[in-house]
Amino acid sequence: MSKGTDVIIVGGGVIGTAVAYYAAKAGKQVTLLDRGDIAAGTSGACDGFIILQSKNPGPHLELALQSAAMYRTLSAELDYDLEYMPCGGMVVAETDTQAELLRTLIRKQQAAGLSVELLPIKEAREREPLLAEDLWGAAYCRDDAQVNPIRVAQGFSQAARRLGAQIRSGVEAQGLIVENGRVCGVKTNEGELRADNVVNAAGVWAPELVAPFGIDLPIKPRRGQILVTEPLPSMLQHVLLCACYLIAKYHPEKLDLTDRQHRLGVGLAVEQTAHGGLLIGSTREFVGFDRRTTLAGIEAVAQHARRILPALANVNVIRTFSGLRPHTPNGLPILGPLAELPGLIMAAGHEGDGIALAPITGQKVAEYLK
Amino acid sequence: MEGVKFTGALGADEKKQVLPSSERTNRGPVAVIECVQEIPCNPCEKACPFGAIEIGPDITQLPRLDLDKCRGCGLCVSKCPGLAIFLVDASKSETEALVMMPYEYLPLPEIEDIVDGVDRTGRFVVKARVVKIDTGAQRQGTAVVTLAVPKAYMHEVRSFRITAHGEVFLCRCCEVSESEVRQAVREGARTVAAVKIRTRAGMGLCQGRTCRRLIGRVISEETGQSPADILPPTSRPPVRTISLDALAGGEDNE
């Protein structure tokens, strides 16, 4: 039996590493376990949107606003270049119906204090000239931004390590140790580890850890397939989503399942990374833990991208990849202590918002540690 | 496992297939076409002004070199897109042979520089002397460098490293240096994918086709693991770059 620590964090993605950093900063003794490697799962297979206007007004948007504010100074705080770019973002509407949906959402967001406006296509194209002329327009938010998710996880993990945290990749949490009804450690492939608190930041794999105790966490893997292009000169000024993304996210009942694009949950999400390549996504599919890309998926994403940004037709795609987003039924992450298992603190289920919400999640979850 | 398919460098049988006899190399310069994969490619055939290289109408045929027609002019050396053609000449001295090779790195060496002659996998073989550097217009951007090496190594030395300049890029697309890769391994990376996620090596245009074996070798050298036990990165479509338009196909939505 190894000697105890204050907190064990299970999962080395953006969420787990953020919790590790803020906990270590608060003076806790921290051990982070990942059975693979830092950012080897979902955090290494996603885009880097910090997008506010995709969040529902309420706690979701409030957390996102706080998180976005933290990102502005995070590279300096972690002493690590997160490739943060305050580029602003747009959500593109193709039709009147979509514009109406955006208008409803925007009104509530404006009331909640978000600076977001709906631009007809002519004005939208002044900001983003490559948008197709026959679109309806786009919602624009100047506070949207982007970051490199892999570097976020690495930046948090290295900064946590400097504060004394132990970052142990290749160590698998095989089960929880529960004594007198309280979680007090983790069984691993390298022996047992004791701690006052265990944080479950295992993303799509989070349910595995608590399933033996009869707890059925409502987190399901949802696959997103993304295309990567060759490095290009500056083409896009903003991170771009389309209204289909919001429909697939918040109103799946409005999807037309006879349409392949809708069936695969394709909603455009395009960004140009610091290295010049475009990340063009994405599908939203429930296919278990299958991380392959499919021809149908990448074809549907490519078609949709060409529809919204016709100038992309000639860019070259060099790779496709997919990641598993931790989906929850209400679109909100599961954060905080789990009543059924005292000592266990949840930090999982962010689906497509993990990057945007990582800093605030890390900070809030660290506050729960005793 | 040996051979181009497994290691990226010629195996013993493959060398036997392409290397000229000592009788031929003693007679004067001769091309060595180290092409053993039946890929669709034939610029070498047109490059030879003497008709010594033949591929024929089936473009996937391996090039056949007529050792008597080859005069050792070396024009083919810079024409092979795979950098697989060399020129070897054992006729000029008792002890040294000349090896001419394409060299697509910067900076170029200078004449009379002593460089590290390396083998087909990049391992150091022997010190070599630079005797000629051809960057003429007919070379179309590929420098052709001739090294003098001890005769025993004329079939081993196929490239070189400029010792004075230090930094070597393992991933040319993302310009990730050997020392960055070593650092990543020392920080815990044990697979090619783990190196990639730490350094970006293999994320560029070639998707690791060039660097993944080199990275595997560094992991092997640093950790003592057998190269065969080091996990390769995940392969994902497309196999080679394709335009978004082609990927999207003709009609929207089936």
> At B244, is the secondary structure helix, strand, or coil?
helix
Q: Do A170 and B247 touch (CB under 8 A)?
A: no
Average pLDDT value over all residues in chain A = 95
Q: Kindly report the nearest CA distance between residue A317 and chain B, in angstroms.
A: 5
Q: Which two tokens stand for residue A109?
A: 């967001």
Is residue A59 pLDDT above 60, yes or no? yes
Residue in chain B lying closest to A37 (CA):
B194
Helices (H), B9-78: 12-18, 22-27, 43-47
Q: Which two tokens stand for residue A284?
A: 């939203």
Q: Do B197 and A261 touch (CB under 8 A)?
A: no
Q: Which of A161, A278, A306, A318 to mutate against chain B (most B CBs within 10 Å)?
A: A318
Written as one string, the DSSP assignment of B72-134 is: ---GGGGT-TT--EEEEE-SS-SSEEEEEEEE--SS---TT-EEEEE-TTS-EEEEEEEEEEE
Rounded to whole angstroms, the Cα distance separating B167 from B176 reads: 10
Is residue B252 pLDDT above 70, yes or no? no
Element (H, E) at A326: strand A316-327
Q: Which residues of A touch B203 (CB under 8 A)?
A: 275
pLDDT in tens, B79-126: 999 999 999 999 999 999 999 999 999 889 999 998 999 999 888 899
In chain A, % of residues over pLDDT 90: 91
Q: Which residues of B touch A311 (CB under 8 A)?
A: none
Q: Do A169 and B188 touch (CB under 8 A)?
A: yes
Start-to-end C-alpha separation, chain B: 44
Say whether residue A32 is in contact with chain B using an 8 A CB cutoff: no
Q: Within its chain, how far is the Cα of A349 from the centroid? A: 9
Q: Nearest Cβ partner of A317 from B200, B203, B241?
A: B241
Q: Average pLDDT, stretch B203-232?
A: 90
Say whether residue A272 is in contact with chain B using an 8 A CB cutoff: no
Q: Which residues contact residue A219 at a Cβ distance below 8 angstroms, ignoring those fewer than 6 apart?
A: A203, A204, A206, A207, A326, A327, A328, A334, A348, A349
Q: Average pLDDT, stretch B37-66?
A: 94
Q: Do B247 and A314 touch (CB under 8 A)?
A: no
Number of Cβ pairs < 8 A linking chain A and chain B:
88
> At B135, is the secondary structure helix, strand, or coil?
coil
More confident residue, A347 or B126: A347
Q: Average pLDDT, stretch A95-101?
A: 92
Say whether residue A316 is in contact with chain B using an 8 A CB cutoff: yes
CA dihedral A242, A246, A249, A251 (to 10 degrees): -130
Say whether residue B231 is in contact with chain A using an 8 A CB cutoff: no
Q: Nearest Cβ partner of A315 from B194, B234, B244?
A: B244
Q: Which residues of B touch A150 (CB under 8 A)?
A: 197
Closest among A144, A132, A149 to A321, alpha carbons compared = A149
pLDDT in tens, A253-304: 887 788 888 888 889 999 999 999 999 999 999 999 999 999 999 999 999 9
Residue A251: the pLDDT is 79
Q: Within its chain, how far is the Cα of A148 from the centroid? A: 11
What is the phi/psi pair of residue B172, to 5°? -75, -30
Q: Which residues of A touch B249 (CB under 8 A)?
A: 299, 302-303
Say whether residue A161 is in contact with chain B using an 8 A CB cutoff: no
CA dihedral A48, A52, A55, A56 (to 10 degrees): 180
Q: Average pLDDT, stretch B165-182?
A: 86
pLDDT in tens, A148-186: 999 999 999 999 999 999 999 999 999 999 999 999 999
Residue in chain A lying closest to B247 (CA):
A299
Residue B165: the pLDDT is 52
Residue in chain A lying closest to B206 (CA):
A318
> At A360, is the secondary structure helix, strand, or coil?
helix
Residue A1: the pLDDT is 47
User: In which band, very low, low, confident or very high, does the pLDDT at B194 lie, cut at 50, 70 and 90?
Assistant: very high
CB A16 within 8 A of CB A39: no
Q: Nearest Cβ partner of A303 from B197, B243, B248?
A: B248
Residue with tokens 């610091």: A274
Interface confidence, given as ipTM, is 0.90
DSSP letter (8 states) at residue A289? B
Average pLDDT value over all residues in chain B = 91
Q: Do A37 and B189 touch (CB under 8 A)?
A: yes
Q: Which two tokens stand for residue B152?
A: 């025993």
Q: Which residues of B touch A299 (CB under 8 A)?
A: 247-249
Q: Do A261 and B237 touch (CB under 8 A)?
A: no
pLDDT in tens, B151-170: 999 999 999 998 755 578 89
Is residue B254 pLDDT above 50, yes or no? no
Q: Do B237 and A227 touch (CB under 8 A)?
A: no
Q: Which of A94-103, A224-233, B230-239 has the lowest mean pLDDT?
A: B230-239
DSSP letter (8 states) at residue B19? P
Instruction: Determine the longest span between alpha carbons in chain B, in angstroms.
Output: 71
Q: Do B193 and A298 touch (CB under 8 A)?
A: no
Say whether residue A280 is in contact with chain B using an 8 A CB cutoff: yes
Q: Which residues of A touch B237 (CB under 8 A)?
A: 293, 295, 298, 320
User: In which band, very low, low, confident or very high, does the pLDDT at A370 lie, cut at 50, 70 and 90?
Assistant: confident
> At A331, is the secondary structure helix, strand, or coil?
coil
Side chain identity, residue A168: R
Burial class (CB in 10 A: 0-12, 13-18, 19+), B138: exposed
